[in-house]
Amino acid sequence: MNKLQQLKQRSQVVADSGDIEAIRHYCPQDATTNPSLLYKAAQLPQYRDLVEQSLIWAQKFGDEQIPQAAIKLAVAIGSEILQLIPGVVSTEVDARLSFDIRNSVDYARRLITLYQQTGISRQRVLIKLAATWEGISAASILEQEGIRCNLTLLFSQCQAIACAEAGVTLISPFVGRILDWHKTQSNCDTYTAETDPGVQSVRAIYTYYKSRSYPTIVMGASFRNQGEIEALAGCDRLTISPQLLEKLQADQAPLEGGLNDAITPQARPANKLEEAEFRLHLNNNAMASEKLAEGIRNFIHDQQRLEQFLEKFQRAN
């Protein structure tokens, strides 16, 4: 077996892509999208019909038709992806709402309603929110309504703890972006898979969850190289780009290493993490606070680029 096949025996493999052809080729269990991936996908010829249909559908919203078309397009692409995979697709709440609980909840409900109108059950969709205090709070409300959530842009233990205590279905702790930050700060480019700070962060979160029997799923994300993926083999889920899926598929060597299954049980904390404590921990973690803020800015930028593309497409047609 190649390494991708071996990996699938130890972790659920999720395609980090909005490219339907890539998903068709690699046959992942689940798929995840974000504004960056949707912006790229919207420009591909095979999505032209979905772009046109989304814009036509949104005409009834007047001045709000472009933002509404972007929501509809995200659901349309997600719906296409769900025809190819047995599991779930993650669809993201507008990052401009990362600090707005009420509107994040409303946006998520809107996404679920649109999916259900296309005949897709809410059980096949994960709502992605940034792991800010507000995003986690919104997820707590949604989970109680049976709307399952995926908390993204997660870089620290305090974010992971707050998500578990909120009853979040799944978290996406980032690996590569943590490595990027440490490379810049240390001016060091010689990290191995074992010394990679992103890998170490996900291992610590995974151990914390499993030792305390939290049901929240850990899905490692944002990989920079194949070594990071192999070092996290055995993690609940791993979301991987088509480029790295291709490398794993071409590699016929044995898949060795990965997460340790021998985890000592521990008691859960007596008290939940409060907002002030969460904010202090996050503030004191320069890497996590900087990468969270940067990630939100980048997702906002790509959401705006997607809307600009839709507006330009509308004028041209």
Residue 60 CB contacts under 8 Å (≥ 6 apart), including other chains: none
Directed axis angle between helix 157-165 and helix 133-144, to 10°? 20
- Catalytic residue status for 247: no
- What phi and psi, each to the nearest 5 degrees, are found at residue 244? -80, -30
Name which of 153, 170, 154 is nearest 88 in CA terms: 170
Question: What is the distance between the alpha carbons of residues 29 and 13, in angstroms, rounded to a whole number?
Answer: 6
Task: Give the pairing of strands 30-32 and 217-220.
Answer: unpaired
Alpha-helix residue ranges (DSSP H) falling in the chain? 3-10, 20-26, 35-42, 48-58, 65-82, 101-117, 133-144, 157-165, 176-186, 197-211, 226-231, 242-250, 275-284, 286-316
Question: What is the distance between the alpha carbons of residues 32 and 16, in angstroms, rounded to a whole number?
Answer: 5
Query: What is the 8-class DSSP label of residue 89?
Result: E
Structure tokens at 131: 């792991």
Residue 71 CB contacts under 8 Å (≥ 6 apart), including other chains: 107, 110, 111, 114
Catalytic residue among 72, 128, 210, 291: 128
Q: Locate tokens 């996900």: which residue?
A: 202
Q: Locate tokens 């593309």: which residue?
A: 309
List the catalytic residues.
128
